[in-house]
Amino acid sequence: MIKIRVPATTANLGPGFDCLGLALKLYLNLEIEEIAQGLVIEYQGEGADKFSSKKDTLIRKSVEVVLKKTGQDKSKKGLKIKVFNQIPITRGLGSSATAIIGGIVGAAKLYNINLTNQEMLELALPLEGHMDNIVPALIGGLTLAYKTGQEEIKWARIKTPRDLRVVVAIPDFTLSTEKMRKALPQKVALPEAVFNLSRSALLVNALQNSDWDVLAEAMEDRLHQPYRAPFIPGIEDIFLKIKKTGLAGVALSGSGPSVVSLTKKGQEEAIGKIMKDTFLYAGVTCRVLVLEVDLEGTVVTVVSDE
């Protein structure tokens, strides 16, 4: 039997639209084993009530993609997949990416197929579409994902301070990434592009040097958040209030609706309270989680059957 643990992710971090992503200590856990025939899926945890069939499909699709790519015919055997999910679904925390990466890594291990990280990411991308989620989910930590001129996925790992804390407010409503991408313009003006370039470089520099004071400015964005904010009541106020404290940076997590704040250990309670109270004032109930950065990425272990 194979056990797989895949971390949740928060993508963009404000200015790093479609390239920066951070893995979090909040996990999708899978146990996969071969059985005589058929597909048996047992699902527990976040999304078990409504969304398990969608997740199942993603995990299964990912397993099939690996088998197809390697030309292996396992159709005679079946699979049993147990899912234990801690990651809220469709909230901007990379839950689809974790299901896909889990399925791909699990299939590769179960069937003894040697795939490099790059090959696994290339298989995952058509299923997920967003490198800034799948790369940190597989690799862990803070990652910058990009494509070469030949359309190959590449990435860099960026150092993060040990006392970095990630405060996430997760509203009790969902937003689909598809819908949130449709809200974006196809072209951006040069000053807006420059605004984001400067902020993303500043953010990387701030995190590498524990330069906490600039995080509030470094996480500003003009490429996607202004167009997505109207779908999330209270978010502009949360941005304003947290920036005003000077204690943290704040952004939309992925395509939302969750909001993510990066701050130094010790400030997380104050930041979480601002998020919760401000959302509530706007009529939105939410959960607040304080998380640490996951540095391991996807971890897979083989458990002996005896």
Q: Which residues bind ligand HSE (CB under 6 A)?
A: 11-12, 17-18, 92, 130, 132-133, 177, 181, 224, 254-255
Quick check: 269 and 222 in contact, CB under 8 A? no
> Would you say 93 or 207 has its CB closer to ligand HSE?
93
Please say which residue, 5 or 130, places its beta carbon nearer to ligand HSE.
130
Which of 7, 254 has the CB closer to ligand HSE?
254
Shortest approach of ligand HSE to residue 129 CB, angstroms?
A: 8
- Smallest distance from ligand HSE to CB 20, Å: 9
Which uninterrupted H or E stretch holds 139? helix 131-139
Q: Tell me if residue 294 falls in helix, strand or coil.
A: coil
Q: Write out the two tokens for 12.
A: 């963009």
**HEC profile of 194-256:** HHHHHHHHHHHHHHHCCCHHHHHHHCCCCCCHHHHHHHCCCHHHHHHHHHHHCCEEEEECCCC
Q: Using the minimum distance from each CB to ligand HSE, give the nearer residue, 115 or 166.
A: 166
Q: Where are the beta strands (DSSP E) in the chain?
A: 2-11, 20-35, 39-45, 78-85, 142-147, 153-158, 164-171, 248-252, 259-264, 286-291, 299-302
Nearer to ligand HSE, 7 or 92 (CB): 92
Residue 277: partners with Cβ closer than 8 Å, 6 or more residues away: none
Work out the widest C-alpha separation in the chain, in whole angstroms: 62
Residue located via tokens 């943290």: 248
Shortest CB 279 distance to ligand HSE, Å: 20
Residue nearest to ligand HSE (CB): 254
Side-chain-side CA neighbours of 189 within 13 Å: the count stands at 4
Q: Nearer Cβ to ligand HSE, position 52 or 133? A: 133
- 10 vs 109, beta carbon nearer ligand HSE: 10
Task: State the minimum distance, in angstroms, from the CB of residue 136 to ligand HSE.
Answer: 11
Measured in degrees and rounded to the nearest 5, phi and psi for residue 109 equal -70, -45
With 0-12 / 13-18 / 19 or more C-beta atoms within 10 angstroms meaning exposed / middle / buried, residue 75 is: exposed
Residue 133 vs 160, nearer CB to ligand HSE: 133
| Cα distances (angstroms) measured from residue 59 to each of 17, 63, 92, 304 | 26, 6, 18, 23
CB of 177 to ligand HSE, least distance (A): 5
Residue 80 beta carbon to ligand HSE: minimum distance, rounded to whole angstroms: 29
Least distance (Å) between residue 100 CB and ligand HSE: 12
Question: At closest approach, how far in Å is the CB of 226 from ligand HSE?
Answer: 13
